[in-house]
Amino acid sequence: MQPKTKKHITLAVGTAVSLACLVWVFSGIDFKQLWIAVKSISPMWLAVSTALFMFTMYLRAVRSSARSTTSPPAASSRPS
């Protein structure tokens, strides 16, 4: 089997599994109730929660960047 064909098969199987999982997850949802809940969302609280989410993502990125630029810890910190 050629690598390109194997890649296409892997992509097709992954897509099929993902779609099957989505159908399974969403099969028990009442979309009328979901739409009623979405329409009742306060725009102010949506904006606040989105801003907090974005801020936490920024902090995670800063923390990740700080971790990746520091030198690794010493092999042993115990005195010999």
Q: What is the pLDDT of residues 57-79, one digit of tens each?
A: 999 999 988 877 766 666 666 66
List the helix and strand counts (H, then E) for the chain. 3, 0
Q: How many domains does the chain have?
A: 1
By residue range, what is the domain housing residue 46?
3-31+38-67
Q: Does 80 reside within a domain?
A: no
Nearest CA to 52 out of 60, 63, 64 is that of 60
Residue 24 lies in a domain: yes
Instruction: Read off the pLDDT of each residue in 32-47 and give the average, rounded to a whole number.
Output: 95
Residue 17 within a domain? yes
Residue 80 has pLDDT above 60, yes or no: no
| Distance from C-alpha of 10 to C-alpha of 4, rounded to nearest angstrom | 10
Judge whether 73 lies within some domain: no
Whether residue 53 is predicted with pLDDT greater than 90 in this model: the reply is yes
